[in-house]
Amino acid sequence: MKHDGRMEYLGRTDHQIKLRGFRIELEEIEAALLRHPDIAEAVAVLGRDPSGEDAIWAYAVPQRSRGGPPEVLVDALRASLGEFLPNYMRPSAIVILDALPRTPNGKIDRRSCRHRGEKSAKARNRRSR
């Protein structure tokens, strides 16, 4: 509430987004990612693809015991998500990280994830030209 009695809208406290006309709970995508036995942590955020369109980005941290190239895990995650999520809820990009970025108080820093993904997409887009 502002000093003059007007209410100020600060945004949503949950992680629901609207993408291409669909309301999506990002926690549902995260839960589907965490169903995979090789995933320890996961987060989904709304970001932008290389063309500038809104897109869902997923970030996952593998279990410590898991070895192998990240590309194999990404393919396995895409197959797994295909079993649990409709097309419109599947991430456009899945990024494997050693650890999710955290805020000073230990919460997952979703904003940092989003910027990290957009930077890597721009880099991949520049390399593919």
pLDDT number for residue 126: 36
Other Cβ atoms less than 10 A from the Cβ of 87: the count is 8
pLDDT number for residue 42: 96
CA 61 to chain centroid, in Å, comes to 12
Task: State if pTM tops 0.75.
Answer: yes
pLDDT number for residue 101: 93
pLDDT number for residue 111: 85
φ/ψ of 57, rounded to 5, equals -115, 135
Q: Alpha-carbon torsion 85, 90, 36, 106, what sign?
A: negative
pLDDT number for residue 121: 47
Output the tens digit of pLDDT for each of the chain's 129 residues. 677 878 766 555 567 888 888 999 999 999 999 999 999 999 999 988 888 899 999 999 999 877 678 899 999 999 999 999 999 999 999 999 999 999 999 999 988 887 665 555 443 433 333
| Helix/strand/coil for 16 | strand
Contact 75, 81 (CB under 8 A): no
φ/ψ of 25, rounded to 5, equals -90, 115
Domain annotation for the chain: domains and CATH numbers: 21-127 (3.30.300.30)
To the nearest 10 degrees (0 to 180), the angle between helices 70-84 and 26-34 is 120
